Amino acid sequence: MEYLEIRGGSPLKGEVCIQGSKNAALPILSAVILHRGTTVLRNCPKIIDVLYMLEILKDFGCRISWEREALIIDATCLCASQVAECYGRQMRSSIMLLGSLLGRMKEASVSYPGGCVIGARPIDIHLAALKKLGAIFLEEPAGLKAVCCHPTGTTLKLPFPSVGATENVILLAALAEGTTCLENAAREPEIEELCRFLNSMGARICGAGTSNLVITGVKKLHDTDFTIMPDRIVAGTYMLMTAATGGDVLLRNVPIEQLSSVQKILRQMGAKQETGEHTLRIQSQGRPDCVPNLSTAPYPGFPTDLQSPLLAALSLAQGTSVIEETIFEARFKIVEDLRHMGAKIQIENQKAIIEGTEELTPTDLIARELRGGAALVIAAAAAKGTSRVHQYHYIARGYENIIRDLQSLGIVIQST
């Protein structure tokens, strides 16, 4: 699939069921190798990043099968601890295998992480934290080699609440000797979900959802059957798309409690919202209102993963909006594409100043990373006429079937 062809300009109407969470599934897939047995995962999204991770697990010796919507992973015969370079450079999340490989195999080799080009995303916080638990690292031309013969619990404080570093510490500490007290841990719902998953296998983790985690190492884990939570970023994408295009949309299987910061912004934009039991109805008419000042922030703040979709939606707002990006320095890569559509956006350091315009002009667009690609789909859906979004594979890294979802909302969309 080289590009999406989208005929936009009409209000959305219909309903969508939100897929399983990408950002929860990937660390959970890393965690399954800690257990010398079988794990059943339900609601695991069939997205490119998950498929890459499953190929890595197969290379390690895991047996993997799908039975209807259940993903079954048998990690009994794990026999390798090196992530193939072809996969490691394709996806950033391969770095979280460090913690689980060190926990299970006592050694690991990973290439320097790849994936979306949205900023430097250094891994020094990961390495410093894992060293506190006993890991030793050697830099090699192809990546990192790590050894941790005796993982031992400790007390450590992260200099920044890094999601990936928090996950790596949890994964190594789960089977370490003694207790690990992790301060300034990331509070994202995906961290809480990883803890919930590990605890379902017999791990002993307290404080999930707070900035202070206590992980008491156990000797071994056991089989589990676990359902992955819905994806808050996918839900947020469709919420912002509705605000941009107008319409009446019902989202099902929505993690309402995780979306308060997004709901707040939608209220500022003038969208009406009605919540039910795991459902959210969004109604929007005309151009959205501007958002005078917003900064991305770690959870529970406004997520950086939704900054680009919000930027696209605010391109059509009445008035001037300002978005400050505080997490990744290169999250404004879609600005040139939006300008080609007639958007009026200026970048000053890490701030985007958006003077809303009445309409966007359909054109050819190029996705360069996952969330920016989804944002360009929002812009294309709002523009009157036919647009093409090239490099669709970036979008497929995190959206299970965006074509099906948007067709259900009345958008004429196809892949070519």
Give the tens place of pLDDT for each residue, 373-405: 999 999 999 999 999 999 999 999 999 999 999
> Between residues 349 and 94, which one has the greater pLDDT?
349
List the one residue out of 284, 251, 245 whose CA is nearest residue 268.
Answer: 284
Assigned token pair, 65: 């099968």
For residues 7, 13, 17 and 19, what is the CA-based torsion angle, rounded to 10 degrees? 30
Mean pLDDT of 293-302: 97
Catalytic residue among 17, 62, 79, 116: 116
Assigned token pair, 306: 């939704």
pLDDT confidence of residue 114? 54
Amino acid at 318: Q
Q: Which helix (H) or strand (E) holds 149?
A: none
The Cα 413–Cα 401 span in angstroms is 12
Mean pLDDT of 345-352: 95
pLDDT confidence of residue 330? 73
Q: Which helix (H) or strand (E) holds 413?
A: strand 412-415
Assigned token pair, 242: 């509705």
DSSP H helices, 269-347, are 307-314, 335-340
List the one residue out of 382, 383, 384, 316 whose CA is nearest residue 355.
Answer: 316
List the one residue out of 196, 198, 160, 233 whose CA is nearest residue 39.
Answer: 198
Say if CB 172 and CB 99 are below 8 A apart.
yes
Q: What is the mean pLDDT of the chain?
A: 94
pLDDT confidence of residue 227? 98
Query: Which residue in this structure is represented by tokens 């680009």?
Result: 308
Q: Which of 10-24, 88-102, 150-164 has the lowest mean pLDDT?
A: 88-102
Say if CB 287 and CB 356 are below 8 A apart.
yes
pLDDT confidence of residue 86? 79
- 22-31 vs 97-105: helix crossing angle, rounded to 10: 20
3-state helix, strand, coil in the chain (%, to 5): 35, 30, 35
Say if CB 161 and CB 187 are below 8 A apart.
yes
Q: What is this structure's pTM? A: 0.95
DSSP output for 208-229: TTSSEEEEE--S----EEEEPP
Assigned token pair, 415: 């892949």
The Cα 306–Cα 374 span in angstroms is 9
116 is catalytic: yes
The end-to-end CA distance of the chain, in Å, is 6
**Omega of the bond prior to 161 within 30 degrees of 0, cis?**
no
pLDDT at 116 over 70: no
Assigned token pair, 409: 């909302």
